[in-house]
Structure 1
């Protein structure tokens, strides 16, 4: 399978979200390192895997291993 890697800005343009929202709210809450994004060569730069992000967006209902928290967030068990 060929993966499409996107920067935060490229992802923001595709899904019509602000890049800051992705960095501050979605990263590490919805998008998980190693599944939705990688840090190539152990660096600071983040590349999102478009096919996995798109699959996550199209999924209906909560994740089966997501535990809701009182503040509205979720814990990925």
Structure 2
């Protein structure tokens, strides 16, 4: 499976959240290392796995609620 890796800045633009909110509030409370993001080559840089982040955002959302706008 091909994954789409995004920097914090790129993720910020996709989900319309400030980079700081992602780093300080979402990372390690909603988005977890090894599941939603990785640190390639043991470095400091973080790359988010878009498909996993998107799954997390949509969990609990049914097709009916999307159709009715709830």
TM score, norm. by length of structure 2: 0.85
Higher relative contact order (Cα pairs below 8 Å, separated by 6+ residues): 2
Higher strand share: 1
* 1:56-67 equivalent positions in 2, closer than 5 A: 56-60=56-60
Structure 1: 5+ residue stretches without partners? 62-77
Number of equivalent positions: 61
Corresponding residue SS for 2:9: helix
- Give the C-alpha shift of residue 33 in structure 1: 0.2
User: How far, CA to CA, are the matches of 1:8 and 1:59 in structure 2?
Assistant: 21
Higher helix share: 2
* 1:1-77 equivalent positions in 2, closer than 5 A: 1-60=1-60
TM score, norm. by length of structure 1: 0.78
CA offsets 1:14-42 (integer angstroms, 9 cap, x no match): 00000000000000000000000000000
Structure 2: 5+ residue stretches without partners? 62-70
Runs of 4 or more off by more than 2 Å in structure 1?
Answer: none
